[in-house]
Homo-oligomer: A and B are copies of this chain.
Amino acid sequence: MKNILLTILLIFIVLPFIQAQDDEDAFKIREIYDQVLTEGKCYGWLEYLTKTVGPRLSGSPGAAASVEYGRQTFNAMGFDTVWLQPCMVPHWERGKPASARIVNSSTLGTKELNVIALGGSGNSGSIGVSGEVIEVKSIDEVKKLGSKVKGKVVFFNRPMDPKQIKTFSAYGGAVDQRVHGPREAAALGAVGSIVRSMTTRIDDVPHSGVTYFKDGIKPIPAVAVSTNDANLLSDLLKTEKIRVNVQTDCKWLEDKLSYNVIGEIKGSSHPNEIILVGGHLDSWDVAEGAHDDGAGVVQSLEVINVFKELGIKPKRTLRCVWFMNEENGQAGAIAYADWSNDLNERHIAAIESDRGGFTPRGFTTEADDAVYKEKLKLAKRWEPLLTPYGLTIGTGGSGADVTRLKPQMGLLFGLNPDSQRYFDYHHARNDVFEAVNRRELELGAAAMSALVYLIDRHGL
């Protein structure tokens, strides 16, 4: 009898209720996509951020302009609160364009290579540093060479593996050379370093990005070389010893005060449960930072715009954060996490977009081990609602700016777009507004909005 009652309860009351919830979710997600694809504002914001504000490396006037642009744009958005969160950022300047010149090839004579200074590179002085080139494929190889590296220019030339289907895996498998290679070479007495650009594309465009030195090791001139010229240099080295002259005009200046831009809408019924959307406002100085990460910041603001335009009052607190200094220090991410952790805040979810404005495939996730399995299972319930939009929810990390929120035991997401073109533009002069496709950008914003809607409605 009890079973019969339960069955009746299930069939006539609970199931229709669940069904109605699902239908409402599906309906609302459709509304969200319609809104973004027909009335979205993110493409226009991106145009302003890239074309009018332009490059915005931490500490630069451009970065200050981007903060002010963020503040003004957030203020016009109807947040409950908008504020600037201070953080001290490193201030490095590129100066005049770097050069690397082969000076003694018996085949080619002298030849300029297509290079760009790495962020954090030392200054070569006006006549540059000169040395014989030693090609290596790994940091281990440099360490094994030991004192043989002294006085030399170390050339890191392990390519990103084009056979990887996910280009971020290929990047992860090669980028240690750029981030740590020049420092390890400098520690052993190298006078300069040349690093193969982090891209699978074979072309003449060099790709910058951060390289870290540390206290006690004086930064040496460190440049990235285009893949075409990396191959040329490697070919030459098979037949003769090559000397290069490397010139960099980089300067390290005093740390500077900068800011994260933050806007908040207080949740109506669960104000202590925070859902964060964000990207990073700073970019490298060599281009407009359109994919990295102009796309991410404007997509995250579109989420707020969608809620406003559709009249959805969030039950939980929505926070949009444009982080400062992701590229070379993560001072903004650290300031935010420290502040939030100190307040014992609880981010039930944080979604970062920092993999380019390409057609979204879904979200990758991470969380503290103690809760990850359970949280991921909860999120994956929503997959059927996202499948019509080509989205899945899987493993694979979140983003550099939100990963520090892990101790708050929420689920951290990274928007996961098609990755095939990202490293064609990453940290290079061609990362400009024109490289971003409007529909792809908007689909990413709609995907984030749909996910935030589901988390806000059902909790996580």
CB pair B443 A37 closer than 8 Å: no
Cβ of A176 under 8 Å from chain B: no
Contact bitstring A349-376, B, C-beta under 8 A = 1, else 0: 0000000000101000000000000000
Which of B163, B389, B390 is the one whose CB lies under 8 Å from A33? B163
Number of chain A residues whose Cβ lies closer than 8 Å to a Cβ of chain B: 24
CB pair A165 B389 closer than 8 Å: yes
Cβ of A58 under 8 Å from chain B: no
Cβ of A388 under 8 Å from chain B: yes
CB pair A437 B418 closer than 8 Å: no
Q: How far is the CB of A244 from chain B (nearest CB, A)?
A: 28
Which of B38, B165, B359 is the one whose CB lies under 8 Å from A418? B359
CB contacts (< 8 Å) of A361 on chain B: these are 390
Which of B34, B37, B163, B165 is the one whose CB lies under 8 Å from A38? B163
Contact bitstring A290-330, B, C-beta under 8 A = 1, else 0: 00000000000000000000000000000000000000000
Residue of B nearest to A442 (CB): B162
Cβ of A25 under 8 Å from chain B: no
Cβ of A111 under 8 Å from chain B: no
Cα A246 to Cα B37 with chains together (Å): 33
Cβ of A429 under 8 Å from chain B: no
Residue of B nearest to A33 (CB): B163
Cβ of A50 under 8 Å from chain B: no
CB contacts (< 8 Å) of A437 on chain B: these are 420-421, 424
Contact bitstring A153-168, B, C-beta under 8 A = 1, else 0: 0000000001101010
Cα A421 to Cα B434 with chains together (Å): 13
CB contacts (< 8 Å) of A123 on chain B: these are none
Which of B165, B200, B421, B440 is the one whose CB lies under 8 Å from A420? B440
A167, A359, A361, A388, most chain B CB atoms within 10 A: A359
Cα A443 to Cα B201 with chains together (Å): 14
Contact bitstring A74-100, B, C-beta under 8 A = 1, else 0: 000000000000000000000000000
Cβ of A101 under 8 Å from chain B: no
Q: Which of A169-204 contact B (CB under 8 A)?
A: 200-201
Q: Which of A195-230 contact B (CB under 8 A)?
A: 200-201
Q: With A162-B38, A359-B420 as given contacts, are A201 and B33 in contact (CB-CB < 8 Å)? A: no
Cβ of A150 under 8 Å from chain B: no
Q: Which of A252-301 contact B (CB under 8 A)?
A: none
* 9 cross-chain pairs, A with B, having the tightest CB-CB distances, nearest first: A420-B439, A37-B162, A34-B163, A359-B420, A359-B418, A420-B440, A37-B163, A421-B437, A165-B389
| Residues of A that sit less than 8 Å from B by CB | 33-34, 37-38, 162-163, 165, 167, 200-201, 359, 361, 388-390, 418, 420-421, 424, 437-440, 443
Q: A33-B165, A200-B439, A424-B437 are in contact. List 9 more A-B contacts (CB 8 A).
A: A33-B163, A38-B163, A162-B439, A165-B388, A201-B438, A359-B418, A361-B390, A420-B440, A421-B437
25 contacts between A and B (CB under 8 A): A33-B165, A34-B163, A37-B162, A37-B163, A38-B162, A38-B163, A162-B439, A165-B388, A165-B389, A165-B390, A165-B443, A167-B439, A200-B439, A201-B438, A359-B359, A359-B418, A359-B420, A361-B390, A418-B418, A420-B437, A420-B439, A420-B440, A421-B439, A421-B440, A424-B437
